[in-house]
Amino acid sequence: MRIGNLTLSGYAALAPMAGVADRAFRELCMDFGAGYCVSEMVSAKGIAYHSQKSAALMEISDAERPCAVQIFGTEPDTMADAARFALRYRPEVIDINMGCPAPKIAGGGSGAALMRDPALCGRIVQAVSRAVELPVTVKIRTGYDSDHLNAVEVARIAEQNGAAAVTIHGRTKEQFYAPPVDYEMIRAVKKALTIPVIGNGDVVDAASAQFLYEFTGCDYIMVGRGALGNPWVFREINAFLSSGRQTPPPSLDEKCRVLLRHIKAVVAYKGEDVGMREARKHTAYYLKGFKNAAKLRNLAFSMTTLADLEALIAAIRDYQSDRRIT
């Protein structure tokens, strides 16, 4: 698939997820076969106020390219300034968040709340598209709520104002992540546009990826929560959609190696104090499906050092082999 002059490999991208899809996780998923990734969302107002925390979210390593920087806000000029600022980090794409349902984002009029004002959506896309020469994409939902399912309208406006691609998550803002996913709306958006459409919603394995592709006709897919603790989902999707080949599930050894690699990268980028606090939630995702997962999660939530993680991994191996832990 092409976004502007950018050609993406594979079949699936890693979704932007605040607090989890950081640099370490993006690099890991790209290594396992994600064809594209998007940064955690960055506040345009934060950039305007010279927030170092906001600017740090735009940092991109060579190991995670091609990568988009995602920005959110409500003011076209401020969004355009943030897009220009992002150029110093050399992203391949600028993505505009019009889909976040979180109260602190949508409650301020940003994210999915923008879909209540399609004209403003158009002005923001136009301002950002005119500000940078990079492809500009937009991430939306099916609508604000079930009474306002206007994804087709907003997607058309985005295309008319310069968007190079649209990603649609098949839920409303009011749904957050509750079922069901509206695959019909994703298909309707695809039929309405001439630019590429990326489908998003409940892709957790090769089968769900194939269904999303075939039912909606979308050009590419985006994997979000299905990749948490499961970066090899991209390997699985690529193998199945390219050749019908089913890859074996990761072994216990691979899961332990990848968990350790992931958390070491988090610590390298953020320091042990911050990194190990964040490691607790990441580790909990990896523990899904393990024997004695509840006991292992309790151990994970008390970790403060990499040595604690290594002890946890030893505990994981013991529990899975039914050896008692003292």
Report how far apart, in Å, the C-alpha atoms of 100 and of each of 18, 34, 206, 256, 323 are.
10, 22, 25, 32, 44
pTM of the model: 0.94
pLDDT, position 23? 96
The C-alpha atoms of residue 198 and residue 14 are separated, in whole angstroms, by: 11
- What pLDDT does 322 receive? 58
Helix then strand then coil, in percent of the chain rounded to 5, is 50, 15, 35
For residue 320, what pLDDT is reported?
A: 81
The tokens of 38 are what? 């998007």
User: Catalytic site residue 100?
Assistant: yes
Question: Both ends of the chain: CA-CA distance in Å?
Answer: 53
Per-residue pLDDT tens, the chain, 326 aa: give them. 999 999 999 999 999 999 999 999 999 999 999 999 999 999 999 999 999 999 999 999 999 999 999 999 999 999 999 999 999 999 999 999 999 999 999 999 999 999 999 999 999 999 999 999 999 999 999 999 999 999 999 999 999 999 999 999 999 999 999 999 999 999 999 999 999 999 999 999 999 999 999 999 999 999 999 999 999 999 999 999 999 999 999 999 999 999 999 999 999 999 999 999 999 999 999 999 888 889 999 999 999 999 999 999 999 998 787 554 43
Collect all residues with Cβ–Cβ distance below 8 Å to 278 and sequence separation of at least 6: 19, 22, 266, 270
Per CATH, the homologous superfamily of domain 252-320 is Putative flavin oxidoreducatase; domain 2 (1.10.1200.80)
Please pick, among 29, 100, 121, 218, the residue that the annotation labels catalytic.
100
Residue 220: closest CA among 299, 137, 110, 153: 137
Q: Where are the domains of the chain?
A: 2-243, 252-320
* High-pLDDT (> 70) share of the chain, %: 98
Domain 2-243 in this protein, CATH class: alpha beta
